[in-house]
Amino acid sequence: MFLGSRLLLLFFLLFVISPSFVIAANKGKVPKYVGSYECKPCHEEEYKSFITYARKSNSYRSIERLKKELTEEEIKGCYICHTTGYGKPGGFISLEKTPHMKNAGCEVCHGPGEFHVKTKNPSYIKKNLSKEDCEVCHTEERVKAFRYKPLVHGGAH
């Protein structure tokens, strides 16, 4: 009786619970952030124009400019908007560990690029953007005068 219920439990763990974990693990697989430089070989034009003109491509410098007046915690509060993928797989961790992710790059608009870079498949990267994609960072209180509609194509390439 005792043994029987243990076996039942074992059976339950092996054949009922664990397969559902495996499925969940695959399903939950999200692409990683890879950094703008990874896009360069295939999108040279967008890359050049972005690096040359978009302020995003220098957005870490804006943190550094004000660093002296800020605490460590306050500086971490800047990362979510001024770096790429902070707190997400592949994203910015720190200047020492992830220098290539320190500026806001292609993926802040187009989403994490890992699957797209590996496959070249356009369906793995976001193209049609809406103002909600910008408002994550260009929040209302931050930029009262930010004109989303005409600017959805601004600040990119």
Alpha-carbon distance values, 32 to 2, 29, 48, 104, 108 (Å): 47, 9, 23, 15, 12
Does residue 101 belong to the site contacting ligand HEC (CB under 6 A)? Answer: no
Tell me the per-residue interface mask from 106 to 125 with ligand HEC, x by CB under 6 A, - otherwise: xxxxx--x--xx--x-x--x
Identified binder of ligand HEC from the candidate list 13, 24, 136, 147, rule CB under 6 A: 136
Token pair recorded at residue 11: 């059976």
Query: With contacts defined by CB under 6 A, how many residues of the chain interact with ligand HEC?
Result: 58
Counting contacts by CB under 6 A, is residue 153 touching ligand HEC?
A: yes
Q: Is 52 in the site for ligand HEC (CB under 6 A)?
A: no
Alpha carbons 99 and 94: distance in angstroms, whole number: 7
User: Is residue 91 close enough to count as binding ligand HEC by CB under 6 A?
Assistant: no
Report how far apart, in Å, the C-alpha atoms of 103 and of each of 14, 50, 60, 66, 98 are.
45, 12, 5, 15, 10
Q: What is the C-alpha separation between 63 and 99, in angstroms, rounded?
A: 14
Per-position x/- string for 59-88, each x denoting binding to ligand HEC as judged by CB under 6 A, each - no binding: x--xx-xx---x---x--xx-xxx------
Q: Name, in order, each residue with C-beta under 8 angstroms of 135's C-beta and a sequence gap of 6 or more.
A: 148
Least separation in angstroms between residue 29's CB and ligand HEC is 17
Q: Which is nearer to ligand HEC, 43 or 100 (CB)?
A: 43
**AA letter at 89:** P
* Residue 137, both tokens: 């960072």
Around Cβ 107, how many Cβ atoms within 10 Å?
27
Catalog residues that contact ligand HEC under the rule CB under 6 A.
Answer: 34, 36, 38-39, 41-43, 46-47, 50, 53-56, 59, 62-63, 65-66, 70, 74, 77-78, 80-82, 104-110, 113, 116-117, 120, 122, 125, 127-129, 133-134, 136-139, 142-143, 146, 151-157
